């Protein structure tokens, strides 16, 4: 089934397509979670079928793992891989320093572990994810279920001393029950509006008993590939201080788009 793509969908796809330039046969690749990362996995599957690409993928979520297997990518665990050549993942926000907020899909714990076990992390995104200051997107904090009210109270108390504009903390829900991560934990979303000092906030939050990991990715991302609705893709690499622009012709009737949306 084919369908017309929105500009945002086109932007996500061309970013994912450009990211495949960083993948070669024989690599061990971290596979991110989320809508943009799913496009990347689909592109890798197409390359495996049509070009004979052979890689081993380490998924950051059960959902990504199932998709990778479906499109023909060999899936292994991080324990089996030990070290990865590259991780390619999406983001919910990023700033000029390539500091990220991730975790909208509830997988930031695994995403951070996989990214830091990689030679490089490359983020793929549409242009709307670029922000002047992080915090408009709620900051996810993964916490253990035991003692949840205590942990939440400690986080709320800690935020009083932080340079943020908002301090609301909410438990992420899935219908009428708490959302549960692949690791069996809960997520508290911190509605901060603006984070003046992400590094300080990350360090302080992670010291609170009951907190497993927060969604701030600091000094982890090496490059960002940004897609645009007109087919343009801009790449910024902070490791060698380079930037470039390419353009793709996107056909709305390409079946890969329908597959990702299903």
Question: Residue ranges for the binding site?
Answer: 33-36, 89-92, 102-105, 129
- Name, in order, each residue with C-beta under 8 angstroms of 56's C-beta and a sequence gap of 6 or more: 27, 28, 29, 74, 75, 76, 81
Q: Mark whether 111 is an active-site residue.
A: yes
Known binding residues for substrate: 33-36, 89-92, 102-105, 129
SS3 assignment, position 7: helix
Q: Considering the candidates 111, 132, 157, 168, report the single residue annotated as catalytic.
A: 111
CA-to-CA dists, residue 153 to 12, 150, 194, angstroms: 38, 5, 20
Phi-psi sector, 111: left (phi>0), alpha (psi -120 to 50), beta: alpha
- Residue 71 is inside which H or E element, if any? none
Q: Is 17 exposed, middle or buried (0-12, 13-18, 19+ CB in 10 A)?
A: buried
Task: For residue 170, give Cα distances in angstroms to 100, 155, 259.
Answer: 20, 11, 33
Instruction: Write the CA distances from 156 to 103, 150, 153, 208, 250, integer angstroms.
Output: 19, 10, 5, 11, 46
Pairwise CA distance, residues 88 & 106, whole Å: 17
**Residue that is written with structure tokens 């799913």 in the block:** 38
SS3 246: strand
Which active-site residues does the annotation give? 111
């Amino acid at each position: 089934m084919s369908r017309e793509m929105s500009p945002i969908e086109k932007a996500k796809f061309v970013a994912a397509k450009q990211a495949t330039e960083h993948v070669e046969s024989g690599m061990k690749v971290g596979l991110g979670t989320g809508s943009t990362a799913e496009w990347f996995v689909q592109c890798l599957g197409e390359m495996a079928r049509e070009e004979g690409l052979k890689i081993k993928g380490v998924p950051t979520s059960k959902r990504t793992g199932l998709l990778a297997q479906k499109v023909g990518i060999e899936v292994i665990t991080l324990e089996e891989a030990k070290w990865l050549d590259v991780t390619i993942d999406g983001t919910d926000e990023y700033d000029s320093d390539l500091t990220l907020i991730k975790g909208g899909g509830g997988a930031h714990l695994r995403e951070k572990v996989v990214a830091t076990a990689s030679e490089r992390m490359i983020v793929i995104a549409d242009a709307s994810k670029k922000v002047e200051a992080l915090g408009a997107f709620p900051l996810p904090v993964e916490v253990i279920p035991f003692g949840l009210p205590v942990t939440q109270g400690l986080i709320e108390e800690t935020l009083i001393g932080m340079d943020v504009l908002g301090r609301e903390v909410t438990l992420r829900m899935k219908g009428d029950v708490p959302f549960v991560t692949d690791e069996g934990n809960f997520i508290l979303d911190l509605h901060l509006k603006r984070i003046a000092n992400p590094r300080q906030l990350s360090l302080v939050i992670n010291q609170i008993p009951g907190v497993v990991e927060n969604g701030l990715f600091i000094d982890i991302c090496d490059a960002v590939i940004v897609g645009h609705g007109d087919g343009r893709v801009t790449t910024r690499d902070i490791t060698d201080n380079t930037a470039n622009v390419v353009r793709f012709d996107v056909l709305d009737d390409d079946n890969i788009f329908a597959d990702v949306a299903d």
